[in-house]
Amino acid sequence: MTDFEVSLSYEPADQQWGESAPLSMHNSGAVIHLAESADIMRTVAVAARTLDNLNLKQVKLCGDWSFDQQWTFAMSYTRARSPGTIKWADTDDKSRLENHYAAMCFTRQLVNDTPEDLSPENLASRAADWLKELGGEHVNVSMTTGEALKDAGWMGIYNVGRGSERPPVLLEVDYNPTGDPQAPVDAVLVGKGITFDSGGYSIKSSEGMLDMKCDMGGAATVTGALGLAITSGLKKRVTLLLCCAENLISGHAYKLGDVITYKNGVTVEVVNTDAEGRLVLADGLLRAGELGTPLIIDAATLTGAAMVALGKDYHGVFSMDEQARNKMLDAARAENEKFWPLPLEPFHKNRCPSAFADTANSVAQKGGGGGGASNAAGFLARFVNPEGKGWVHLDLAAAYQGGATAELPVGATAKGIRSIARMIQDF
């Protein structure tokens, strides 16, 4: 196969390609012109999308490319269905790029798979198998499934998932490269793994349900991040917890007005079965607390309110621990990923009041009312230590594109895997 060569130039394109054209063609490929670009990475991304739309089988990056320029090209060039392959530029970054790209592709594939193919058990098994492949003997896996969740007291995952014929799962993956079974756990990653979200009895509209295969984007993102950290030489002990369920309607599904009692004694009235993500994450956070770790990061496609605030460009960052929040933002800046802080104060714990339980799981109002993303984070704050020390909540507004844009293909983005991998390495 003849390579389609793509190079960078800081000279303007010939006039025949148009004024300030970002892209020109020649016999063996294309040139991306950065000369007059105010935003070089956006120019690379837009050019990559243009080339991807040509349905090329393979491209070769030629000449002088930085790591981030190649990564940006790959993020934009790699479409969801039958993507073309990329040959990296001849630089010292090849091995690092291959590891990053593998984590990106794994993350995107999980999110883009059909909800029929990706049941809760399938999500858990695929995440575990990939991490075992990367971590070998350092990886140990346990799964709590179906009725065993109720027996173990993981009532959030159990109740959200019990309406489906395909059972819910709590996956626990222990990556321990120290060789010491008594080594402390340095960090815990918790991911929302709702493999399809109908909304339950608070049912979504048809168009609102179309992209709900992506509601396990948090689980995919933290799995991709841990895999990336492992291949980057992670020496710390890290536990991954995936809270996996299908939120469906049946005669056995949970209902509005139900009260769920959690392991820590907190009672929760269900006022919206479409606010299910926080119910399953609560179990994951409780389990993370049992492990005595100094750092907990949870990630979820949790609220539409985060997308209203941030669009689909940034992930929302919530923490009551200023140091942890700042370190998360520093990690994102170092990895050139867009994260943005949103408010979380102790009073947000009380923003979902209930007359029948300690709290409701939302406000009985469309979209969760004003400040919905912060209120959801406040709900989760009930399931970590009272001061929220060492806990960071990520609302992944930028995890999925319902349609292609000038910069990104349709579907999963895998944005965030780099920042989370750096955070658990540097914290």
The residues assigned a catalytic role are 204, 278
Residue-level length of the chain: 427
Q: How far apart are CA 219 and CA 321, in angstroms?
A: 23
Tokens of 130: 């990939």
Q: Which residue has the tokens 């120290």?
A: 178
Q: How far apart are CA 121 and CA 125, in angstroms?
A: 6
Q: Which residue has the tokens 């040509």?
A: 54
E strand intervals along 362-410? 391-395, 400-401
8 Å CB contact between 201 and 270: no
| Cβ within 8 Å of residue 208, ≥6 positions away | 199
Q: How far apart are CA 147 and CA 154, in angstroms?
A: 10
DSSP labels, 200-237: TTSPPPHHHHTTGGGGGHHHHHHHHHHHHHHHTT--S-
CA angle, residues 144, 150, 156, in degrees to nearest 5: 90
CA distances from 204 to 163, 217, 274, 366 (A): 16, 18, 8, 11
E strand intervals along 51-138? 58-62, 85-87
Q: How far apart are CA 354 and CA 339, in angstroms?
A: 32
Q: Which amino acid is at 359?
A: T
Backbone angles phi, psi at 424, to 5 degrees: -70, -25
In this structure, how many other beta carbons lie within 10 angstroms of the beta carbon of residue 280? Answer: 30
Q: Which amino acid is at 132?
A: K
Tokens of 359: 């709290």
Where is 192: in which H helix or E strand? strand 187-197
Q: How far apart are CA 14 and CA 130, in angstroms?
A: 47
Q: How far apart are CA 378 and CA 370, in angstroms?
A: 13
Q: What is the DSSP letter of 354?
A: -
